[in-house]
Structure 1
Amino acid sequence: MPSLSSRANRGWWDDNADDYQVEHGEFLRDTGFIWCPEGLDEADAHLLGEVRGRRVLEIGCGAAQCARWLAGQGAEVAAFDVSHRQLRHSRRIDEATGSRVPVVQADAEALPFAEAVFDLACSAFGALPFVADPLAVLREVRRVLRPGGRFVFSVSHPIRWAFPDDPGPHGLTSDRSYFDRSPYEERDEDGALTYVEHHRTMADWVNLVAASGLRLTGLLEPEWPEGHQRVWGGWSPLRGRHIPGTAVFSCANS
């Protein structure tokens, strides 16, 4: 059964998918693989290595922009998201581009795939920040990866949780404890949970990867690039020059 977090976030993303794609679609590109608001592009970063001929799973795919780019590089791709409305945008882009990316609606804590069927898995801010049990997700990823397979995922950098989510000067002054793991929640007028995002420290993420049976092989904190002026929520050139906004974890199934 989906967790309370999963149910709330599924509804939120269904309600907000249209606005999200309008606001960020051009930056993400219909057939682009952007890891984070800093604009780190897989075409340049090569965090997944060679993808041609590999079976790749995108986790929390949104409109499957990353999966579509991978398919264009010769990968055999599958993708899923908790939000049906996001997947409708994937179909819209398929029709506009003439592509066909296979997508399914699913919860990351219980993947609808057989064991050891993927060579690679990836997630660009998908699923992991929004689930109550990230260890379940990591174990599921390990289950569907072949021995020696690789998983790369990006999340908000944990240090960001000690600061206000503000792209301006106010966002440079810490106003809460980094060690306070209280989730960020939104509720409706009746008190029902409508959105939730969970905080884990850097040590939490490292320990979760280890507990899942995956092996951490790399950690990247992308610097804010010169000339990049785009503001995305709390990400901005001002804050990006001072504190990291994204953490990218590379893992192996060994």
Structure 2
Amino acid sequence: MEPQTNTREPIIQEPQIHEPEHSEVREPEPAEPEATRRDAGVTESSRANRGWWDRNADDYQTEHGTFLGDDRFVWGPEGLDEVEAELLGPPEDLKGKDILEIGAGAAQCSRWLAAQGARPVALDLSHRQLQHALRIGGGVPLVEADAGALPFADGSFDLACSAYGALPFVADPVRVLKEVHRVLRPGGRFVFSVTHPIRWAFPDEPGPEGLSVSSSYFDRTPYVEQDEEGHAVYVEHHRTIGDRVRDVVAGGFRLLDLVEPQWPAWNTQEWGGWSPLRGNLIPGTAIFVCVRD
């Protein structure tokens, strides 16, 4: 199928809020999903994670919205900010650049890019996450699409970025990397952050119980949450550091840098399995800086 040219117009509609009728019968609460490790392919992973983010976007933005801000560019729970890291380049060099943000959520990073004079487009799989982007506002073009099938023409962007978006949740990361490579112009950077692969050997706990190895780092079996019928409702995929490097190369990129942010003294919050305790001992985020030659 031929790629579509981006029109830079939002392709999602304004959120529609429906208040329940007083006589409405409430459905019983669904059972807690079962957590397991099993195979999950491209289609199952995409469907499960679209549904999970649509269901959980409200809670996510409520819990983490203050930390993320409305127009900050934060690479991960450590709080590494692009204004200091300059992984996409000096802020003054972003002016006039066409930039694609993948897995944008509520488009906080894209708003920061727009404030530097760039022309960002925020893409996400989740309709509800993009509704939060509309709620916050800022006029950034929004696109609802799968990162493995980007709806843009070849060479549409100067830069691409993804802060914990798409790559941790897809069964075929090379497919995503090849798509990003296709829509970038020669010399364009793609910078993306993911959970540091070493974390997969430890329990996902912020306290002392999260400091002892509990499984093999080399076990690539995905983490899956599934319903009573065995259908996946959340999927996260593990790749070792070596796998990620090979994926970058297979996607057509050259790896410029691998950044492992240290936990800063000012950050005292816990975020899931990330915490000051763990962050001072083992890395929690890996950021890959890649270039399309």
TM-score range, shorter chain: over 0.9
**Structure 1 gaps, min length 5:** none
Task: Determine if the alignment matches structure 1 residue 223 to structure 2 residue 262.
Answer: yes
Q: Which has the larger radius of gyration?
A: 2
The alpha-carbon deviation at position 191 of structure 1 amounts to 1.2
1:58 equivalent to 2:97? Answer no
SS of match in other structure, 1:217: strand
- Describe the SS at the equivalent of 2:94: coil
> What is the CA–CA distance in structure 1 between the aligned matches of 2:266 and 2:156, rounded to whole Å?
41
Amino acid paired to 2:44: L
Counterpart residue identity of residue 88, structure 2:
L
Aligned to 2:50: 10
Q: 1:145-190, CA deviations, whole angstroms, 9 ceiling, x for partnerless residues?
A: 0000000000000000000000000000000000000111000111
The alignment's TM-score, normalised by the length of structure 2, stands at 0.84
TM-align CA RMSD: 0.7
Structure 2 counterpart SS, 1:79: strand
State the alpha-carbon separation in 1 of the partners of residues 103 and 244 from structure 2: 18
Cα distance in structure 2, aligned partners of 1:87 and 1:227? 30
**Aligned: 1:113 with 2:152:** yes
SS of match in other structure, 1:3: helix
Q: Which residue of 1 aligns with 2:175?
A: 136
Counterpart in the other structure of 1:21: 61
Query: d(CA) in 1 for partners of 2:144 and 2:134?
Result: 13
Q: Which residues in structure 2 correspond to 1:231-250 (within 5 Å)?
A: 231-250=270-289
Residue aligning to 1:165? 204
Distance 2:192 2:94 in 1: 16
Aligned equivalents of 2:266, 2:208: Cα separation in 1: 19
Q: TM-score, normalised by structure 1?
A: 0.97
Q: Distance in 2 between matches of 1:52 and 1:29?
A: 22
What is the CA-CA distance between 1:38 and the residue it aligns to?
A: 0.2
User: How much does 1:227 deviate?
Assistant: 2.5
What is the deviation of 1:71?
0.4
1:77 matched to 2:120? The reply is yes
* Identity in percent: 66
After the TM superposition, which parts of structure 1 deviate over 4 Å for at least 4 consecutive aligned residues?
none
Q: Structure 2 stretches of 5 or more lacking a match?
A: 1-41
Give the Cα–Cα distance (whole angstroms) in 1 for the partners of residues 122 and 237 of structure 2: 23
